[in-house]
Chain A
């Protein structure tokens, strides 16, 4: 089969606000972990999830202030035991509370890897978390239909008509009961 390349140019896209917000949330979570590690004089160990969750729980706005304070902590190197650290970041989405799990790997005192695992349950949050958590290349980006020249759209196989009516009927029954 033949496929041509899209005539639309594929330049760099500007970073959406939602991504910045999520990015901030993760930096906060990472910063919070470092903040705790810096304060403790004990040997580094795996942070129990509950403890991490408690310390990172904050509305994004509050934590923004902390971020600059822990910025220094993040820069310090050499004092931290190699290992993998976990934390759960909590934030308020417009639809309700959501979580995102952050894992950091430390080697030779430097953070060598971070992963973010979305725990979102609300579709919109899933959307945003996916945008943040995915490898940049595997991010799904949407464009409005009128921004793109199209002959057709392929998505779900169009729903059978009877099916739609049946769903409407169920909704009616549910509303009445």
Chain B
């Protein structure tokens, strides 16, 4: 029996607004499980929380044991690091921090960032172990939010939910009846009262990434290119549809750094990208979604 997930639970977590749609209200104990899942993920993997695993790695090299759920995330980072020739790296954390996007949101350049070390030179990853040879400020924001959406969706599925939408600030996992797909507008990068297209999705993950909102100064925004040691300048917005929100999130970030064809070698996904001149490129299946 398929029903539209019309009941929405709205919450604030990891600095963004979540909307979780289910068929019928979630019971309190299920909400608690979800909240604890999010809190734990943040406690361990946040670049901003004192005492997190990431924070400890930034103070002391050594061998760290990663939680079970981090395996697929680190595996993805390793794969994308290789595929993008190092452009997609967890080591953008220090650059972001130097440019002011730190735990206190100073948002002023603190020092001139330098080229980050090559990930494979300073970190040895063999799950569950991550061994670092020097203090490293790792940032998993490129795929972490999408990954957390998948984990929360997994809890809903484990509790018997078939149809739901888990949306964390525009990174979303959709499970709807094929006859009633979700219609998601693609926000115009320069004018938030407009959309440049509509994606209809019944089953899958959609992530959007844009540099217009999270920017704090002349050219300073949160998508860093480690090759230039600075925020990217060509692409200004991307959207990816993929089978998991973790992958959609990672690829939406990676598309700021490399051409889609680089990623298409090992990932199946659909995309829309907009550059500085407001030209749009897209995978063939997305043509009908654009105005």
Contacts and interface: CB of A to CB of B under 8 A. Distances in A.
Most chain A beta-carbon contacts within 10 A, residue among B171, B192, B270, B291: B291
| Interface size, B (range) | 35 or more
B3 interface: no
B182 A156 contact: no
Given A139-B279, A157-B209, A166 B16 contact: no
Interface in B164-219: 167, 169-172, 178, 181-196, 198-214, 216
Contact of A143 (B105, B212, B270, B291): B291
| Interface size, A (range) | 35 or more
Given A1-B203, A151-B182, A151-B183, A134 B105 contact: no
B200 A140 contact: no
A145 B185 contact: yes
Interface stretch (B24-32, B225-233, B258-266, B281-289): B281-289
B163 interface: no
B184 A155 contact: no
B131 interface: no
Interface of B: 12, 15-17, 19, 105-108, 145, 167, 169-172, 178, 181-196, 198-214, 216, 237, 239, 241-243, 270, 274, 276-281, 285, 288-291
28 contacts: A1-B243, A2-B202, A3-B201, A3-B288, A5-B200, A6-B198, A126-B276, A127-B190, A130-B279, A133-B279, A139-B280, A142-B188, A142-B194, A143-B195, A148-B198, A151-B184, A152-B167, A152-B182, A152-B183, A155-B237, A156-B187, A156-B208, A156-B213, A157-B213, A158-B17, A158-B213, A162-B105, A166-B107
Given A3-B285, A153-B170, 20 more contacts: A2-B181, A3-B181, A3-B288, A10-B288, A130-B278, A141-B290, A148-B185, A148-B198, A151-B183, A151-B184, A154-B185, A154-B206, A155-B170, A156-B189, A156-B212, A157-B145, A157-B170, A163-B214, A170-B108, A170-B216
